[in-house]
Structure 1
Amino acid sequence: MTTRIGSDAWIDLLVQGADRLGHSLSPDQARQMALHVQLLLEWNQRTNLTAITDPVHVAVKHCLDAIAPLHLLPEEGALLDIGTGGGFPGIPLKIMRPDLDMTLIDSVRKKISFVNHVIRQLRLTRIEALHARAQTLAEQTDRKARYQVVVCRALTDLTTAVSLALPLLAPQGRLIAYQGPNDSSAEGLARDATDLRMIPIETVYYQLPFLDDRRKVSLLQRV
């Protein structure tokens, strides 16, 4: 399937895909995501931001996958995206939830330069992108235990995601970890919940629309 990014067909693909995931995505929000993706592929020619470049695949595997756990976000509070890369899942989540304060971090300066460019182009507010590691951020007094939710999409190791998120999460704060369908690390964490001070709450399985790729997210809470 070939669909030009930003075309009516591409916008409809996003809107219909979001609906299949149980979320309401407006055409205006889809057009914001289209601009994000267009900028991503432009910058990708000189900066390694993504290996996914097919218009349909980038819509589904980046944009729709990013918003799949939208219903798990809190009603209010601050969100931290650890390892945001090209702005996923942080930018699509911000488009869907402009009311939330968001911080996006990555250890690669060029990636954060790109994300800041997207933030300016989309005129997003109450959002910041920082060149930082989670460990360094946690050393800042005003960041420690600040966030109601932390999202991790770049980390496949759930134990690492927990260790990075824990000092940054507010009491009762939640970690949303994007995972492959065969990752069983959440079950192992349940046995070590006392030591980790983080307990598994829920695992949500889903299929990406149109491509039928199987994915899951693990939801854990700080105790």
Structure 2
Amino acid sequence: MVISGVFFSSSGYSGNNNSQHETNQITTSTVEREPLPAGAVNETAYYTDAAGWVESRSELEQGLKYFYQKTGVQPHVYIATDLNGSKTRDMADVRDFAEAKYDELFTDEAHVLLLFYEPYESEYKTYYVSGSQAKQVFDDEAGDILLDYIDRNYYNMDLNTSQFFSQSFRQAADRMMEVTQSPWVNVWLVVGVLAIIIVLFIWWRKRAAQQEAEAKRTEEILSRPIETFGSDVSELEKKYQDSEDTQ
């Protein structure tokens, strides 16, 4: 089995620390991903609650099943406050525990196991293990996206445990399965539209000024007495008079 694991740990407390985590940047999705084909997964349970924290099975599984439907990779969340009776902080112990659980729980390469380990209050460590087939969709970047949402939502005091995991997996699925559009695309689009509006406005102003000048000139010509047009008009009058006399 090909295993991919990423370790992430964080510690903090609710309350005053919330604001600094709510603004965490989420890893951008730069890869077009296709879900695994149907039949790749031998479907299993979606979570193991060794800590006894899950308030609502249906609420938790809603987000995990959404992730499965969106990616073709079945997730499994393993929640623990100790590892084989130990509250170790050793990263190697966390990794070994997660990798052993993958082999114990699954018979395919299309699962991703997320170990959420909180040995002490507000101090948690996460480690994910993905099978070789799951890696086609759930690559390192996708793993970073999931862990970013785990970190952000952990400090959202409006979410209970079931909602916390459900929302994190739902958000991760949506983000990883679409290429993240750069905010500069929208900025340059707005700049381009504004430039076109400015050019059209300048053209309209010049055109309106030209039309106004032409109208004013025409009005001046029409309002002038015929005598003011000079000798050319007198000559025309004389020629017209001579023509009448000869008839």
Q: Smaller-chain TM-score range? A: under 0.3
Looking at CA atoms only, which structure, 1 or 2, has the larger radius of gyration? 2
Larger RCO, structure (CA 8 Å, separation 6 or more): 2
More strand as a share of residues: 1
Q: TM-score, normalised by structure 2?
A: 0.24
